[in-house]
Amino acid sequence: MITRRGLLKFLGGGFASMAVLGGYAFAIEPLARLNVTRYALKPPGWTPGLKLRVVALADIHACEPWMSASRIASICRQANALGGDITVLLGDYAAGMNLVTGYVHSSEWSKALATLEAPLGVHAVMGNHDWWEDRTAQKNSGGLTFGHKALADVGINVYSNRAVRLEKDGMGFWLAGLEDQLALVPGKKWMRKDMQGLDDLDGTLAQIVDDAPVILLAHEPDIFPKVPSRVALTLSGHTHGGQVRFLGHAPVVPSRFGDRYAYGHVVEGDRSLIVSGGLGCSIAPIRFGVPPEILVIDLG
């Protein structure tokens, strides 16, 4: 039979463990950890001999103290050291939550991102929070957000349903970027089914005029079932890997497909998707089991 002292020790140990785990999820994993997650793949139809290293950053969610301008600059320095041929930004630069000690202005986080360097340039798409936090863009039901303008002002290529042909070692590939799939929120409704996307997958892919492989940037991975096999690789963020994962499963994922596209490399048929766990936090400043990460994808 358990004694009163034994019960108190058990309860005390449980509370202590919860406090330690809470402190880790609140202060250590979001603030002090940064992983480099690597993938190597040769998608079907990839050009023989074309070796391409892609460095990808997603879901920065700039704010104090979690993702300050100085921390973003530090992450960019680490990204530059990874030897990427091309660097891509997968959206959600705006804070995305109110549990902050201060907001980081777009002129500050864009200046930090401007330190990114790659031989084939730095290329970006926007995310849902970049739209949601811009009241003017919401009122106008489109146009350019402050995020579009801030990135363009520092020389970063921003894609809004656009495809561009690039070359490495004389061999071509296409980089295509979609506008956000949850961009507009009608009135005060926040139900996913009521949100209006500004993405145009068909129109974007129609810009591709040869057989060179295609890399698609799409902030939300929910577009993936519609992506044709013509696209060699889709890169997404948005989910943060669920932001909390236990034994490889996230109890809450901001996707209508649940855990299906929550995180990592997903292969369906001859199509590949890689979903980043992202860097910052949204809704709540907590991460557990999904440390902030930079992606390195070696293609070919």
Could you tell me if 138 and 8 lie in one domain?
Answer: no
Could you tell me if 285 and 137 lie in one domain?
Answer: yes
What is the per-residue pLDDT for 250? 86
Could you tell me if 42 and 88 lie in one domain?
Answer: yes
Is the model's pLDDT at 171 over the cut of 80? yes
Is the model's pLDDT at 178 over the cut of 60? yes
CA distances from 258 to 65, 221, 231 (A): 30, 11, 23
Q: What is the mean pLDDT of residues 30-36?
A: 77
- pTM, two decimals, is 0.90
Picking from 297, 273, 277, 274, the residue whose alpha carbon sits closest to that of residue 289 is 277
Could you tell me if 17 and 83 lie in one domain?
Answer: no
CA distances from 2 to 15, 96, 141 (A): 18, 47, 64
What is the per-residue pLDDT for 39? 98
What is the per-residue pLDDT for 30? 55
Could you tell me if 139 and 61 lie in one domain?
Answer: yes
Could you tell me if 174 and 122 lie in one domain?
Answer: yes
What is the per-residue pLDDT for 247? 79
Q: How many domains does the chain have?
A: 2
Could you tell me if 13 and 127 lie in one domain?
Answer: no
Q: Which of 3-7, 181-185, 234-238 has the lowest mean pLDDT?
A: 3-7
Could you tell me if 146 and 280 lie in one domain?
Answer: yes
Could you tell me if 2 and 86 lie in one domain?
Answer: no
Q: What is the mean pLDDT of residues 74-94?
A: 98
Cis peptide before 251 (omega within 30 of 0): no
Range of the domain at 209: 35-299
Could you tell me if 150 and 8 lie in one domain?
Answer: no
Could you tell me if 19 and 104 lie in one domain?
Answer: no
What is the per-residue pLDDT for 13? 45
